[in-house]
């Protein structure tokens, strides 16, 4: 199957972004909030099967040496076909000098390990909903 990658936010259906995040169990907000988050990101990638948005991801970055990945998601029916790898590789390639950090959804660490990410020993987070994040398994 051939998939189309797009690296800008033009003509994106933000409701679809929100619904996809909800479908895969990730934090989701109103469509305009996701629009703002993606438009304010350094690098974005959207993957299409013909006209259908099937996956996406974004990096916030200084564009020089540090970057963080967010909202990496692939529609359930398209998972396991190499699309997640394609999204990460596309973002990493566009910021070639950068270190990348992220926090994986609990249970998704192995996906990132397959792509050469390594667990951090000293990662720290100041979350808005700190106790929720502990309950969900993100923090100790
Ligand atoms: C995690 C996610 C983005 C992976 O996307 P995907 O398209 O299914 O992954 P790929 O097919 O590109 O897989 C790449 C490699 O990772 C492995 N992999 C993918 N998901 C995995 C998992 N949950 N556990 C272990 N390995 C996994 C694949 O087997 C493949 O290995 P290979 O190199 O041996 O072939 C996708 O499953 C998803 O959207 N999940 C729900 C949302 C989510 O949790 N996103 C991550 C937030 S941090």
Q: Order of strands across the sheet with 52-61?
A: 4-6, 43-49, 52-61, 66-74, 99-101
- The string of pLDDT tens digits covering residues 56-108 is 999 999 999 999 999 999 999 999 999 999 999 999 999 999 999 999 999 99
User: Is the minimum distance from the CB of 85 to ligand 1 under 6 angstroms?
Assistant: yes
pLDDT at 124: 97
Count of Cβ atoms closer than 10 Å to residue 52 Cβ: 13
Strands (E), the chain: 4-6, 43-49, 52-61, 66-74, 99-101
Atom of ligand 1 nearest to the CA of 24: 41
**52 sits in which H/E element:** strand 52-61
pLDDT at 32: 98
Residue of 108, 117, 125 to test ligand 1 pocket, by largest number of atoms within 8 Å of CB: 108
Contact 70, 57 (CB under 8 A): yes
Alpha-carbon span 116 to 114, nearest angstrom: 6
- The string of pLDDT tens digits covering residues 40-49 is 999 999 999 9
Residue of 73, 75, 84 to test ligand 1 pocket, by largest number of atoms within 8 Å of CB: 84
Contact 21, 30 (CB under 8 A): no
Residue 80 tokens read as 């396991």
Domains of the chain with bracketed CATH: 4-102 (3.40.630.30)
């Amino acid at each position: 199957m051939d998939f189309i990658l797009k690296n800008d936010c033009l003509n994106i259906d933000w409701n679809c972004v929100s619904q996809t995040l909800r479908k895969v169990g990730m934090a989701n907000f109103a469509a305009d909030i996701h629009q703002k988050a993606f438009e304010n990101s350094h690098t974005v990638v959207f993957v299409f099967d013909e006209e259908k948005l099937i996956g996406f991801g974004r990096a916030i970055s200084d564009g020089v040496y540090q970057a963080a990945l967010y909202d990496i998601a692939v529609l359930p029916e398209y998972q396991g076909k190499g699309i997640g790898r394609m999204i990460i590789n596309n973002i990493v390639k566009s910021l070639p000098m950068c270190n990348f950090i992220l926090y994986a959804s609990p249970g998704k660490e192995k996906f990132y390990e397959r792509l050469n990410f390594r667990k951090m020993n000293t990662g720290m987070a100041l979350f808005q909903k700190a106790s929720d994040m502990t309950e969900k398994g993100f923090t100790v």
